[in-house]
Amino acid sequence: EVQLQASGGGSVQAGGSLRLSCSASGFTFDDYTIGWFRQAPGKEREGLAYISNTDGSTKYAASVKDRFTISSDNAKNTVYLQMNSLKFEDTAVYYCAADQSPPTVIGGLIMPIMDYWGRGTLVTVSS
């Protein structure tokens, strides 16, 4: 059974940092792409970044490119999202997801279409 567990969310003041973790099991981690997505209240789910565990390539949404860093520890079957310089508008539920292929990118937007999804972790940024 495929399982993805996001953790590390919490409350932080604007300008602060958080590191999210996505622990994966039930599939061959090295063969998959793992992505981070978020959904704020009243908004559509937004793709933030993904990493291909086959070749280590990464892709970021323009909105987070200079502030967020995605990384993978294949030995631990875990993907991280380091979030720096957090803003109020980063407040959302953050999800990790997995797919054997990278998500489609259209106009710089990472489409939230992945095979497997974990439960989200809430990030609240206070101004």
With cut-offs at 50, 70 and 90, classify the pLDDT of residue 21: very high
Q: Indicate the SS3 state at residue 117.
A: strand
The pLDDT of residue 20: 98
With cut-offs at 50, 70 and 90, classify the pLDDT of residue 126: very high
Q: Are 18 and 10 in contact (CB under 8 A)?
A: yes
- The mean pLDDT value for 67-71 works out to 98
Measured CA to CA, the distance from residue 112 to residue 127 in angstroms comes to 28
Other C-beta atoms lying within 10 Å of the C-beta of residue 41 = 7
Mean pLDDT of the chain: 97
Dihedral (Cα; 99, 6, 63, 101), 10-degree rounding = -10
Alpha helix ranges (H) inside the chain: none
Closest CA to 92 of 31, 33, 6: 6
Amino acid at 54: T
